[in-house]
Amino acid sequence: MKRLLGMVLSLCLGAVGLATTAQAQDLSDIIKRGEIVVGVDMTTPPWGYLNAQQQPDGFGVALGQQLADSLKVKLKVEQVTGPTRIPTLLAGRADVIISTLSITAERAAQVWFTNPYAPNALVLIAPQAKKVAGFADTAGMKIAVPRGSPQDQIVTANATKATILRFDDDAGSLQALVTGQADLLGAGMLVPPALNQMDPGKSYEAKFTLSSPYMAMAVAPGRANLLNYLNTFLFLQKQSGKLEEISQQYLKVSLGQLPTL
């Protein structure tokens, strides 16, 4: 009986601990501690990168700074990669993820998404000289993708006669294309200009579109106050034109009409 009571007590205390941890990460506690931690991948220019001063920069960092300013708190950037974005969030090491996280049903079972803040069509990329117009043309080619990403799932299902090279982050898959390890790269629509700066002379371009997802911020489940604030923040950023300004500065494209969830 004592053993049973001990187990029950342990479970209760564990539940209290979990509740406290979750509560400590919601909006009022972010304001109280004076800092918001935003997860951003630094290997996905222009969304996130280290600038010439080796400081975090890019669309996600700029949007994170606007968010911190609106809350009147400091911004702390937690560097993540594609595979570590959601685990970092769920482990409580970040309050919000702003890191090219496209809205999918699978991810929605793990995190809570805000309304979209930008489109980011996924495309297959290669040098201009390589002729590829559809999946049929990828037979015998090597396609680099971040492991487990939407583009990984799409090319795996459709490029059945190609070899899929999977990497742990975007930087690895980009490097595979630049070094010739891969013939094609599955990535976002803004990657070709970045590649042409990194590796001039090959005229990298999008060959065809894989899908047209939208990027959203994500928070851990249960953080209703924070989610509500983020959606209000995004609405006001769009209304004021500031979100479009950040897009023009970093993405060099208009955001267009963004849908809501």
Integer-rounded Cα radius of gyration of the chain: 20
CA distance 62 to 67: 9
> pLDDT tens for residues 10-44?
434 444 334 333 333 689 999 999 999 999 999 88
Same domain, 100 and 150: no
In a domain, 148, yes or no: yes
What is the predicted pLDDT for the residue at 85? 95
Contacts of 48 by beta carbon, 8 Å cutoff, 6+ apart: 40, 41, 42, 56, 57, 58, 59, 60, 61, 99, 100
Same domain, 103 and 128: no
Same domain, 128 and 232: no
Same domain, 156 and 232: no
What is the predicted pLDDT for the residue at 151? 94
Can you tell me the mean pLDDT for 153-177? 95
In a domain, 179, yes or no: yes
CA distance 236 to 210: 31
Same domain, 143 and 68: no
Domain tally for the chain?
A: 2
* Placement of tokens 């023009």 in the chain: 248
In a domain, 21, yes or no: no
What is the predicted pLDDT for the residue at 25? 62
In a domain, 261, yes or no: no
In a domain, 162, yes or no: yes
Same domain, 69 and 187: no
Judged against a pLDDT cut of 90, whether residue 142 lies above it is answered with: yes
Same domain, 134 and 164: yes
Mean pLDDT score across all residues of the chain:
90
What is the predicted pLDDT for the residue at 14? 43
Same domain, 147 and 223: no
In a domain, 90, yes or no: yes
Compute φ and ψ for 100, nearest 5 degrees. Answer: 45, 40
Same domain, 140 and 160: yes
Task: Report residue 249's pLDDT band, with 50, 70 and 90 as the boundaries.
Answer: very high
What is the predicted pLDDT for the residue at 23? 37
Same domain, 188 and 239: no
What is the predicted pLDDT for the residue at 197? 86
* Higher per-residue confidence, 115 vs 148: 115
Identity of residue 102: S
Task: Report residue 194's pLDDT band, with 50, 70 and 90 as the boundaries.
Answer: confident
Parent domain of 85: 26-119+215-250
Can you tell me the mean pLDDT for 192-208? 92
What is the predicted pLDDT for the residue at 170? 87
Q: Residue 227 sits in a domain of what CATH number?
A: 3.40.190.10
> pLDDT tens for residues 30-85?
999 999 999 999 988 899 999 999 999 999 999 999 999 999 999 999 999 988 99
Same domain, 45 and 165: no
What is the predicted pLDDT for the residue at 135? 97
Can you tell me the mean pLDDT for 142-161? 95
Same domain, 34 and 161: no
In a domain, 17, yes or no: no
Point out which residues pair with 165 in neighbouring strands.
144
> pLDDT tens for residues 100-124?
999 999 999 999 999 999 998 999 9
